[in-house]
Structure 1
Amino acid sequence: MFIAALGEPGQNWSPVLEHLGDLTTVTYDRPGTGAAPPRPAPRAPLPYSVLADELAEELDERRVTGPAILVAHSIGSLVARVYAGRHPHRVAGLVHVDGSIPQLRLWPTDETTVDGDGPDASELDTVTGQVEVLTATTPPVPALVLTRSPVHPTTADLPAGVEELWLTSQRILARELGAPLIVADDSGHRIPSTAPDLVAYAIRAVHTAAGTARPVRVDPEELSKAGGHLDRTSAT
């Protein structure tokens, strides 16, 4: 089950899906994104729990009632963390793809956070959402955390300290999940489109672990071929 980044449609996972033809995959558009109609007015700011429960309803409509592996990019990672806490029996594994930090914003701003395009986009309540993320209890399922390259042209203009904060957050998440942390060799934040084979490798590793009830195994050589390496700090 694939959860897209802020305002992005499910079809943005297409490059990854091309590497997973033998697996059953599900993508979807949140209300107001892609081809999905917006939520009806009035639209009060929404915490992540609303998005998580909408995902559960989406799976019910598609008759996907058994445990699924969640693959989540950017803010989708926060939705996945809340979903896993609210619906643990429906989670077979987790793959966090450069997941947003719990507070979402990397620096102070007065801008609102909206999910979607145009005047009908939904504003998110990121403060309540942060509390939901930090208090969510993740089920003990196989997991992997995948993050961008610490030094990359797409992040060169970010304020000082931001990349250190980002990587530290990924390490904390990996430690909390008891999961390996994979670092992309040459990719910015948009890993699903720039390094789809690496995302596919992570998914298959978690899928195998979930099917065999064994810990996630990462082969350094195969991982290198896919364009990534294990983070040494979190590994130790």
Structure 2
Amino acid sequence: MASSPLARRTVVGAILVATAFLSACTSPPQSIAPANLDIVCEGEGTPTVILIPGLDTPADTFESLQAQIATDTHVCSYSRAGIGTSPPWPEDLPDPSAGTAADQLRATLEANEVSGPFVVLGWSYGGLVTQAFAARHPDAVAGLIFEDSSMMGQFENEIFDPSSFVEGGRSVDLDGTAEEIEGLSLEGLPVIVLTEGIPPEGIDGATLEWYTQLHDDLSALSDDSLHVIAVDAGHAIHWDSEALVEKAVGTVVDAVRSGDAMSECDDTVWVPYGGECRVG
């Protein structure tokens, strides 16, 4: 539920107009993979929206969505190591985690002179990378959208196989990921959580509700959050209900620009885009 922005939120809104902050970034750790990921940016304006794709998925999954967002602000999408045209994860490094993926993204943004603060959208496993980015680089984050985000809690259910989390030919270090996002707080940030409304084959209603409750917990990490169900969409909400995802991004971007808290969730706002406010 929306509430008054805290001091951190007010500061972020104010310094959107300060060019000095837009270029001031704390360098990520030097032990990560090279800052050489394939990244595509378009549009103009601030804040910059960063689109983080799902497991083993290249940047072009967001091609249509990115074009829509670019009409309003600067937006970038990218492919993680070993995906699309991005170089592979270095053989001499341990298996990647969401945290090291987030660090490599930050380094790539700096290498390409893409300035923050950022509004970050993470889809599926990209939602875990987004959580890690917020945990490890809070100075760069102005707002967040989680598109049917993966959650560490999902692995408590046997239907989610941790060994299937492989991308670019490397296993994802989920134990390391759990440590990297433990204690995550999104306090003071505008956050929208989108959850699929149509479960995949083999998933019953009870399991979908349990999964949705995990997203309730994610939404609760911010004092300025909305949780919206994509009633007409499966896991890839940006494919099934692109307008809903675009609306979520625009809502967070507007909140960052104004420095005001988002309005409380209202079905009259979200239903036309294929969304319903989460109740309970």
Fold similarity call, TM over 0.5: yes
3-state SS of the aligned residue for 1:199?
helix
**2:277 counterpart residue number:** 230
**1:2 counterpart residue number:** 51
Q: Distance in 1 between matches of 2:164 and 2:93?
A: 14
Once the two structures are TM-superposed, the CA of residue 159 in structure 1 deviates from its matched residue by 6.2
Once the two structures are TM-superposed, the CA of residue 104 in structure 1 deviates from its matched residue by 4.9
1:187 and 2:237 are equivalent in the alignment = no
Q: Distance in 2 between matches of 1:39 and 1:73?
A: 21
Aligned residues: 226
Q: Given residue 86 of structure 1, which amino acid in structure 2 is its aligned partner?
A: R
Out of 132-141 and 183-192, give the one that drifted further.
Answer: 132-141
Give the ranges of 4+ consecutive aligned residues of structure 1 lying more than 3 Å apart after TM superposition: 103-106
3-state SS of the aligned residue for 1:32?
coil
1:12 and 2:61 are equivalent in the alignment = yes
Kindly indicate whether the alpha-carbon contact (under 8 Å) linking 2:153 and 2:214 is maintained by their aligned counterparts in 1: no
1:55 and 2:99 are equivalent in the alignment = no
Once the two structures are TM-superposed, the CA of residue 184 in structure 1 deviates from its matched residue by 0.6
**2:167 counterpart residue number:** 115
Kindly indicate whether the alpha-carbon contact (under 8 Å) linking 1:44 and 1:123 is maintained by their aligned counterparts in 2: no
**2:41 counterpart residue number:** none
Using structure 2 for the length normalisation, give the TM-score.
0.75
Kindly indicate whether the alpha-carbon contact (under 8 Å) linking 1:85 and 1:139 is maintained by their aligned counterparts in 2: no
3-state SS of the aligned residue for 2:120?
strand
Once the two structures are TM-superposed, the CA of residue 10 in structure 1 deviates from its matched residue by 1.0
Using structure 1 for the length normalisation, give the TM-score.
0.88
Kindly indicate whether the alpha-carbon contact (under 8 Å) linking 2:127 and 2:146 is maintained by their aligned counterparts in 1: yes
Once the two structures are TM-superposed, the CA of residue 43 in structure 1 deviates from its matched residue by 4.8
**2:122 counterpart residue number:** 72
Question: 1:134-173 CA distances to partner (integer Å, 9 max, x unpaired)?
Answer: 2333352111111110xx2x52412674312210101111
3-state SS of the aligned residue for 1:96?
strand
Structure 1 residues 66, 111: CA separation in 2 closer, same or farther (over 3 Å shift)?
closer
Q: Distance in 1 between matches of 2:209 and 2:226?
A: 18
Alignment counterpart, residue 211 of structure 1, candidates 236, 257, 260: 257
Across the aligned residues of Structure 1 and Structure 2, the Cα RMSD in angstroms comes to 1.9
Q: Given residue 163 of structure 2, which amino acid in structure 1 is its aligned partner?
A: E
Alignment counterpart, residue 217 of structure 2, candidates 169, 172, 177: 172
Structure 1: where are the runs of 5+ without partners?
Answer: none
Structure 1 residues 109, 29: CA separation in 2 closer, same or farther (over 3 Å shift)?
closer
**2:188 counterpart residue number:** 140
Matches within 5 A, 1:121-132: 121-132=169-180
Out of 159-168 and 79-88, give the one that drifted further.
Answer: 159-168
Kindly indicate whether the alpha-carbon contact (under 8 Å) linking 2:144 and 2:191 is maintained by their aligned counterparts in 1: yes
Q: Distance in 2 between matches of 1:52 and 1:70?
A: 11
Kindly indicate whether the alpha-carbon contact (under 8 Å) linking 1:7 and 1:115 is maintained by their aligned counterparts in 2: yes
**1:220 counterpart residue number:** 267
Once the two structures are TM-superposed, the CA of residue 110 in structure 1 deviates from its matched residue by 6.9
Structure 1 residues 109, 14: CA separation in 2 closer, same or farther (over 3 Å shift)?
closer
Q: Distance in 2 between matches of 1:131 and 1:55?
A: 19
Kindly indicate whether the alpha-carbon contact (under 8 Å) linking 2:51 and 2:77 is maintained by their aligned counterparts in 1: yes
Q: Given residue 124 of structure 1, which amino acid in structure 2 is its aligned partner?
A: V
Matches within 5 A, 1:81-96: 81-96=131-146
Q: Distance in 2 between matches of 1:224 and 1:160?
A: 21
Matches within 5 A, 1:11-50: 11-20=60-69, 21-50=71-100
Question: 1:108-131 CA distances to partner (integer Å, 9 max, x unpaired)?
Answer: 647352123xxxx22111012112
Identity level (%): 24
